[in-house]
């Protein structure tokens, strides 16, 4: 896990980010921080109509940048586990699948998550955690970890939501789950900032060095 890589950054193509979170400003901020890699992962829906323009803007910003810039999206996991993203984009770009809706039912949630993990177009499961109305037993966490490894998905350590839950990290690592970092920045000052999850990061690093 590399602290100079931020795989979850938003920009001003959504309606709730800071107005100065433009693609050129994000790129400049990443350069000033000497980050090695960032992924633009704007919220996408099947109905999004700004996709070509967004991708063109990322491409032109990344041309002369010292930072490796990955174009991508964050898509919602729907109740049946399908992904709210047009197929030609989910297949061809870096894709984080995340829960943005409460389903209030453990079996519905787990079934949706399983389908998302088994979806070959998904690269990363974003800010994963159980809903507050249910718990996952240790054996369920281990089964989940095995499914993640089998399907070669990455689990993001998310700074905005401080997830996954710390008690999931060690069993995940023991099964061989790979992690990376995502700030989930919606403001310039949040890009590449991981100090508020240093406890989660040290769980991964401690385990790595054993
Ligand atoms: Zn999200
Ligand atoms: Zn996000």
% of the chain beyond a pLDDT of 90:
93
Find how far residue 94's CA is from the centre of its chain: 10
Which ligand has its closest atom nearest to the C-alpha of 8? 2
Could you tell me the distance, in angstroms and rounded to a whole number, from the CA of residue 83 to the centre of ligand 2? 15
Burial class (CB in 10 A: 0-12, 13-18, 19+), 179: buried
Instruction: State which residues form the domain around 80.
Output: 5-208
pLDDT for position 14: 85
Which ligand has its closest atom nearest to the C-alpha of 183? 2
Ligand 1 is an ion; its neighbours by CB within 5 Å are 98
- Do residues 152 and 122 lie in contact, with contact meaning Cβ atoms separated by under 8 Å? no
Q: What is the pLDDT of residues 82-104, one digit of tens each?
A: 999 999 999 999 999 999 999 99
Could you tell me the distance, in angstroms and rounded to a whole number, from the CA of residue 210 to the centre of ligand 1? 32
Residues 6+ apart with CB under 8 A from 154: 7, 123, 124, 125, 178, 179, 180
pLDDT-derived band at 15 (thresholds 50, 70, 90) equals confident
- Do residues 8 and 96 lie in contact, with contact meaning Cβ atoms separated by under 8 Å? yes
Could you tell me the distance, in angstroms and rounded to a whole number, from the CA of residue 100 to the centre of ligand 1? 6
Residue 17 DSSP class: S
- Do residues 50 and 85 lie in contact, with contact meaning Cβ atoms separated by under 8 Å? no
- Burial pattern 128-148, b for ≥16 Cβ within 10 A else e, equals bebeeeeebeeeebbebbebb
Ligand 2 is an ion; its neighbours by CB within 5 Å are 74, 184
Q: What is the pLDDT of residues 35-83, one digit of tens each?
A: 999 999 999 999 999 999 999 999 999 998 999 999 999 999 999 999 9
User: For the whole model, what pTM was predicted?
Assistant: 0.96
Total structural domains within the chain: 1
pLDDT for position 206: 73
Could you tell me the distance, in angstroms and rounded to a whole number, from the CA of residue 39 to the centre of ligand 1? 14
Q: What is the CATH number of the domain that holds 185?
A: 3.20.20.140
């Amino acid at each position: 896990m590399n602290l100079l890589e931020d795989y979850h950054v938003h920009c001003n193509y959504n309606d709730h980010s800071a107005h100065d979170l433009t693609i050129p400003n994000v790129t400049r901020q990443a350069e000033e921080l000497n980050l090695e890699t960032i992924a633009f992962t704007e919220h996408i829906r099947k109905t999004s109509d700004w996709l070509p323009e967004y991708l063109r803007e990322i491409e032109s910003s990344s041309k002369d940048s010292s930072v490796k810039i990955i174009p991508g999206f964050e898509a919602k996991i729907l109740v049946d586990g399908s992904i709210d993203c047009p197929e030609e984009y989910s297949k061809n770009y870096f894709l984080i699948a995340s829960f943005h809706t409460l389903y209030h039912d453990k079996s519905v949630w787990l079934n949706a998550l399983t389908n998302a993990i088994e979806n070959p177009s998904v690269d990363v499961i974003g800010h994963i955690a159980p809903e507050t109305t249910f718990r996952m037993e240790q054996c369920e966490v281990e089964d989940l970890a095995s499914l993640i490894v089998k399907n070669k998905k990455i689990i993001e350590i998310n700074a905005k939501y401080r997830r996954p839950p710390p008690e999931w990290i060690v069993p995940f690592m023991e099964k061989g789950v790979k992690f990376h970092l995502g700030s989930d920045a919606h403001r310039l000052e949040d890009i590449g900032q991981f100090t508020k999850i240093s406890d989660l990061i040290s769980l991964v690093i401690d385990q790595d060095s054993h």
